[in-house]
């Protein structure tokens, strides 16, 4: 049975969707390109999301770098491969679409990788904000570039922040 809840965060309200006890979606409530229709979220049920809520709070407090939640994203085999590559990007680091395409064996897949990144149903948890354009350019993000910048700034290592000051 699919259920959802809404939680607050520094980047606005987040809609968490679960199916059979596993997180199947995490969307920005008020602006999320490609988000399913609200009817797909099932009934609102605030119980059962305690671990996800706690881990999201810890992430924004700078106390968590990896999420440890059962996940059930829906996607085809290609999407799942790309999402696995995204999930392997360490906290505070970025990769380009081209690098992910090369990891899949063909740099020509960069646009297809972009499509799979954009279809990621688990924002924050499968940290697609860590995928950037060539040369580190900020490009598309389902929640908007201002949220992407906020999340990258949140994760930026302290020594890199300090180095930018001088």
Q: Around Cβ 13, how many Cβ atoms within 10 Å?
A: 12
CA distances for 4 relative to 7, 15, 44, 54, angstroms: 10, 7, 5, 15
Residues 14/27, Cβ–Cβ less than 8 Å: yes
Residue 92 designated active-site: no
The two tokens of residue 104 are 């899949």
Choose, from 128, 131, 142, 151, the residue flagged as catalytic.
Answer: 128
CA distances for 133 relative to 19, 105, 123, angstroms: 33, 18, 18
Give dist(CA 126, CA 36) in Å, integer.
17
Q: What is the set of active-site residues?
A: 128
């Amino acid at each position: 049975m699919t259920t959802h809840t809404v939680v607050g965060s520094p980047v606005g309200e987040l809609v968490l969707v679960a199916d059979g006890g596993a997180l199947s979606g995490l969307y920005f409530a008020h602006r999320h390109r490609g988000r399913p229709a609200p009817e797909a979220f099932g009934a609102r049920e605030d119980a059962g999301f305690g671990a996800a809520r706690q881990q999201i709070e810890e992430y924004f407090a700078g106390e968590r770098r990896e999420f440890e939640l059962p996940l059930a994203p829906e996607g085809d085999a290609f999407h799942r491969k790309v999402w696995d590559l995204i999930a392997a990007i360490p906290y505070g680091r970025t990769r380009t679409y081209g690098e992910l395409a090369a990891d899949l064996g063909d740099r020509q897949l960069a646009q297809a990788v972009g499509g799979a990144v954009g279809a990621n149903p688990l924002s924050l948890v499968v940290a697609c904000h860590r995928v950037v354009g060539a040369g580190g350019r900020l490009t598309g993000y389902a929640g908007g570039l201002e949220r992407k910048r906020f999340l990258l700034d949140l994760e930026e290592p302290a020594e890199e922040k300090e180095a930018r000051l001088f």
